[in-house]
Amino acid sequence: MRCRMVKEDSASYQLLIKLADKRRIKVGRLGSFIFPAGYYVYTGSAKIGLEARIARHLRRDKKLRWHIDYLLQYATVVEVKRYPRRVECELNQLLSRQGGKVIVKRFGSSDCGCETHLLYVGGSQQICSTGLDQSLTQKLGFSL
């Protein structure tokens, strides 16, 4: 399913997140879930204020507002990737096809038709730091 059309100046981002230990986490109204230890990729977007959005995700002291805030109470962002267009659904689907696993349905995707915008990629960063960039360059025309 495609995201709806948005302004030209909007952008997307991905957070590579490390959760050191397996943990049960309450995620707002979605409920409580067991998150395996390892790496996750959260894909988001911003119509405006991309850097402010990312900075908020990186802060520890904040009101719990978005699904990702609940996970980030216990996990650490280890890498941030920025993309010049709002293509969060496409980025997420691409990573899913490369082996990303759904842990929580509807996580971060309540405003689109995606199953989730948080994917578990296991104990390795490799799927995020190599394969994703190559596929994006080929499929979406990004020069990363």
Q: How many helices (H) and strands (E) does the chain have?
A: 5, 7
3-state secondary structure of 134: helix
pTM (global) more than 0.85: no
In this structure, what DSSP letter does residue 103 have? S
Which residue in this structure is represented by tokens 């302004």?
Answer: 7
Nearest in space to 41 (alpha carbons), one of 135, 105, 120, 126: 120
3-state secondary structure of 18: strand
Q: How many CA atoms lie within 13 A of 127 on its CB side?
A: 23
Residue 21's Cβ-count burial label (10 Å; 0-12, 13-18, 19+) is: exposed
pLDDT in tens, 98-125: 888 899 998 888 778 888 999 998 876 5
pLDDT reading at 130 higher than 60: no
pLDDT band at residue 126, thresholds of 50, 70 and 90? low
pLDDT band at residue 141, thresholds of 50, 70 and 90? very low
Check residue 4 and give its pLDDT. Answer: 46
Q: Give mean pLDDT, residues 12-20.
A: 92
H/E segment holding residue 71: helix 67-72
Q: Give mean pLDDT, residues 87-96.
A: 85
- Angle, in degrees to the nearest 10, between helices 88-97 and 132-140: 130
pLDDT reading at 96 higher than 90: no
Nearest in space to 45 (alpha carbons), one of 19, 76, 14, 23: 14
pLDDT in tens, 44-81: 988 888 899 999 999 988 899 889 999 999 999 988 88
